Amino acid sequence: MSPFLAEFVGTTILIVLGNGVVANVVLHQTKGYNSGWIVVTGGWACAVTIAVYCVGSISGAHLNPAVTIGLASIGTFAWAKVPMYLAAQLAGGVAGGVVVWLVYLPHWSVTSDPDAKLAVFSTGPAIRQPIPNLIAETIGTFVLVLALSAVLSPSNFVPGSDLAKGFGPVLVGLIVWAIGLSLGGPTGYAINPARDLGPRIAHALLPIPGKGSSDWGYAWIPVVGPVTGGVLGAWLYKIMWVL
């Protein structure tokens, strides 16, 4: 499998399981309806873990433009590969959104709230204030990229062992779970432009009854914030642990 296809497949799996748990919680007449934030954050943690296990050995399982750009900014990932990775991640986000729509097909018509339907696909702020919302997304992704780089550093594992490969995806899932529990309240913690923009595009295109707006006025925040935070997190890791 090529890295492009791996990033596409991995991001699709991420969105199917991650946005899928949101659908299970917010859409009416599902088995998991109204089961709460802990279920959402736990489901996303599992989604990340499984997606990283699936394609990590092929592409490195970035599955996130903020990670790709952050690593490229400090010279640990080739800039020449960045456009390919970003395209695959965005396409995977769209595809994942379509799959979630199909899985929950009977539930769109029995859910009257258009905001709940949009929440299945993309994030939105609890209190709409663009600058604080942008800061929240920046800090969340800063923590993500810094923690990924530091926790998965070879210095944390026995040299020559396969522990990092075997247990690494679980640690990635725990990082995402921690961010969701601690920092996800203000904006729903997109911390990944492809996770938000890809499914938002799917929401705009799909024939969802009573879906309302795709909220494009907010859509720049879960793109700009994560990219900014990812670059800052990568650079702090390089300054503190590498230089």
Instruction: Report all structural domains of the chain as residue ranges with CATH numbers, in order of start.
Output: 3-242 (1.20.1080.10)
- Asked which of 8-22, 104-118, 160-174, 224-238 is least confident by mean pLDDT, the reply is 160-174
pLDDT at 164: 65
For 108, list phi and psi in degrees, rounded to 5. Answer: -70, -40
In contact, 215 and 188? CB cutoff 8 Å: no
Residue 150 has pLDDT above 70, yes or no: yes
For residue 160, name the pLDDT band (cuts at 50, 70, 90).
low
Residue that has been written with the tokens 């979630």 in this structure: 100
Residue type, 90: L
- What separation in angstroms does the CA of 43 have from each of 35, 38, 86, 147, 179? 12, 8, 24, 20, 13
Average pLDDT over residues 59-76: 98
pLDDT at 125: 98
